[in-house]
Amino acid sequence: MLELARGQLLEPAGLDDADLEKVLARLCGPGVDLGEAYFQRRVRESWMLEDGSVRGGSWDVDQGVGLRAVAGTGTGFAYADSISLPALLQAAGSARAIGRSGQSGRVRAGQGVVAEARYGTEDPTSAGRPADRVELLRTIDAYVRSLDARVSQVTVNLSASHEAVLVVASDGALAGDIRPLVRLDIRVLMEENDRREQGFAGGGGRFDLSELMNPESWQEYATEAVRQAAVNLTAEDAPAGHMTVVLGPGWPGVLLHEAIGHGLEGDFNRKGISAFSNRIGEQVASPECTIVDDGTLARRRGSLTVDDEGTAASCTTLIENGRLVGYMQDKLNARLMGAKPTGNGRRESFAHLPMPRMTNTYMLPGKHDPAEIIASVDDGIYAVNFNGGQVDITSGKFVFAASEAYRIRNGKLGAAIKGATLIGNGPDVLTRVGMVGNDLSLDSGVGVCGKEGQSVPVGVGQPTLRIDGLTVGGTA
């Protein structure tokens, strides 16, 4: 990965190790704790079809370098959208001036970071012709409509990117990565008796585009999108009140990501504004709960070989048997908190600063059969999918809207319901987890996480779990 990244980022610009040392020397000096250069080149394409017509298509190349000088809690940052020695030296001088004035120092480029590759190096944007993409979208549109005559609208989005990154830093880090990423989304609108409902399905990951173009993949997503819309056409108004809630496996882990995961990122805890600040070693959840952030999963959307600071990806245990044992860390916050970086330093692009971010965050499986969990509920709801929500990181309060849910009565699944909204507090919800299933599932590869204006791809997941007492806002 390192040599491939060098070949794509440094060689075209005629740069070598001596040039990197010059840049770090300009960047570093007295009072500067860390100097870092982040090189990136990304090729992206996207296609959208709506009602049988191509409504959008794009292909672009974005490349540049971001330079950071960290001094204490302060950071100087500058970036250039061209990779050349003059541009690098100018940006390095600007970043150091912002971070901490001082004389230049000599810093040797480090040795390569040893990290296991989590995915291939194939370029999904170079596979096939644009005409092949358009034909695929039209084929999917026709297939979706053939599944159910009630389908009135179909929207298909296909995207792919190929990214090369290289990190060189004054702490000795020298790391590279080649990151493919693909995604396919299918959204349908179904109508019957003056009622309209939506269904959505999709997936992707760090692999070649040909896998998504395989009929076995996209037909599965198409069938699922139609199924969801059909279920919602029959759904009844959701009840309201304080009740037992069972969350399904896989994508419902997005609630875990938003309501709990962000609160376990290092920057929020260093600043003391998270509900989990200064609570390492405390029992913060039911003993049934063990939660990890794992950037090492093969081919997953949120996985990395190295993070955007050159730290090898890892599997970090955050909560173990209900006890808080760790936070997700980047280099800056780890140093200030006396901890080690965990491979969670991430950024949207070379034009952005890194910060602690999640990769693939999920709850480990428990001992209960999912059917046993449903059977244990006298009156409640079973939430299978979500389509949006809001979270307050400081308090942990959240509001999430279920896009597919069912009523549970006397231990059995009942009618589909619509309009169910889950309202609660993330840390409090963790203490109310009564049963955890043995059916851990990860999402299909559609997660995008936003933080401070930056978006990065992530993964979520969980087994079926029962929450004993949660406020449900309904429409009944």
* Exposure string over 66-89, b if 16+ CB within 10 A, otherwise e: bbbbbbeeebbbbbbeebeeebbb
For residues 451 and 211, what is the distance between their CA atoms, to the nearest angstrom? 30
Q: Tokens at residue 336, please?
A: 């200030």
Mean pLDDT of 400-412: 96
For residues 379 and 406, what is the distance between their CA atoms, to the nearest angstrom? 11
Asked whether the predicted pLDDT for residue 108 surpasses 80, the reply is no
pLDDT value for 105: 41
Mean pLDDT of 69-98: 90
Q: Assess whether 399 and 443 both reside in one domain.
A: yes
For residues 237 and 260, what is the distance between their CA atoms, to the nearest angstrom? 29
Mean pLDDT of 377-405: 89
Say if residues 444 and 203 touch (Cβ distance below 8 Å): yes
Asked whether the predicted pLDDT for residue 377 surpasses 60, the reply is yes
Higher pLDDT, 457 or 33: 457
H and E: helices and strands count for the chain: 11, 24
Q: Assess whether 129 and 270 both reside in one domain.
A: no
The confidence band for 113, taking pLDDT boundaries of 50, 70 and 90, is: confident
pLDDT digits (tens, 9 = 90+) for 276-315: 999 999 999 999 999 999 999 999 999 999 999 999 999 9
Q: Assess whether 139 and 285 both reside in one domain.
A: no
Please identify, among 233, 265, 289, the residue that sits at the C-terminal boundary of a domain: 233
The confidence band for 390, taking pLDDT boundaries of 50, 70 and 90, is: confident
Q: Assess whether 259 and 384 both reside in one domain.
A: yes
User: CB-based contacts of 402: which residues, under 8 Å, 6+ apart?
Assistant: 238, 381, 383, 384, 385, 386, 387, 420, 421, 422
Please identify, among 187, 207, 233, the residue that sits at the C-terminal boundary of a domain: 233
Q: Assess whether 59 and 144 both reside in one domain.
A: yes
Q: Assess whether 214 and 279 both reside in one domain.
A: no
Q: What is the pTM of this model?
A: 0.94
Asked whether the predicted pLDDT for residue 103 surpasses 50, the reply is no
User: Tell me, what CATH number does 23's domain have?
Assistant: 3.30.2290.10
Q: Assess whether 72 and 159 both reside in one domain.
A: yes
Mean pLDDT of 84-100: 86
pLDDT value for 2: 86
- Hey, what amino acid is at 439? D
The confidence band for 469, taking pLDDT boundaries of 50, 70 and 90, is: very high
For residues 452 and 467, what is the distance between their CA atoms, to the nearest angstrom? 30
Asked whether the predicted pLDDT for residue 109 surpasses 70, the reply is no
Say if residues 356 and 266 touch (Cβ distance below 8 Å): yes
Asked whether the predicted pLDDT for residue 205 surpasses 60, the reply is yes
Which of 90-99, 203-212, 263-272, 431-440 bottoms out in mean pLDDT, i.e. has the lowest?
A: 90-99
Provide the 8-state DSSP code for 283.
Answer: B
Q: Assess whether 104 and 163 both reside in one domain.
A: yes
HSE-CB at 187 with a 13 A cutoff on CA atoms is 11
Asked whether the predicted pLDDT for residue 31 surpasses 90, the reply is no
Asked whether the predicted pLDDT for residue 93 surpasses 90, the reply is no
For residues 314 and 359, what is the distance between their CA atoms, to the nearest angstrom? 10
Q: Assess whether 46 and 13 both reside in one domain.
A: yes
Q: Assess whether 265 and 216 both reside in one domain.
A: no
The confidence band for 111, taking pLDDT boundaries of 50, 70 and 90, is: low
Structural domain of 433? 237-473
Q: What percent of the chain has pLDDT over 70?
A: 97
Mean pLDDT of 166-194: 95
pLDDT value for 344: 98
- Measured over the CA atoms of residue 365, residue 371, residue 375 and residue 380, the dihedral's sign is positive
pLDDT value for 388: 74
Which of 159-163, 168-172, 288-292, 402-406 bottoms out in mean pLDDT, i.e. has the lowest?
A: 168-172
Higher pLDDT, 120 or 328: 328
The confidence band for 101, taking pLDDT boundaries of 50, 70 and 90, is: very low
Say if residues 290 and 434 touch (Cβ distance below 8 Å): no
Please identify, among 233, 264, 279, the residue that sits at the C-terminal boundary of a domain: 233
For residues 160 and 343, what is the distance between their CA atoms, to the nearest angstrom? 24
Length of the chain: 476
Asked whether the predicted pLDDT for residue 370 surpasses 50, the reply is yes
The confidence band for 102, taking pLDDT boundaries of 50, 70 and 90, is: very low
Residue 12 CB-density burial (10 A; 0-12 exposed, 13-18 middle, 19+ buried): exposed
Mean pLDDT of 36-65: 93
For residues 476 and 473, what is the distance between their CA atoms, to the nearest angstrom? 9
Mean pLDDT of 53-59: 90
Mean pLDDT of 383-409: 89
Mean pLDDT of 25-36: 88
Count structural domains, the chain: 2
Mean of pLDDT over the chain: 93
For residues 391 and 277, what is the distance between their CA atoms, to the nearest angstrom? 17
The confidence band for 104, taking pLDDT boundaries of 50, 70 and 90, is: very low
Q: Assess whether 254 and 338 both reside in one domain.
A: yes
Q: Assess whether 347 and 371 both reside in one domain.
A: yes
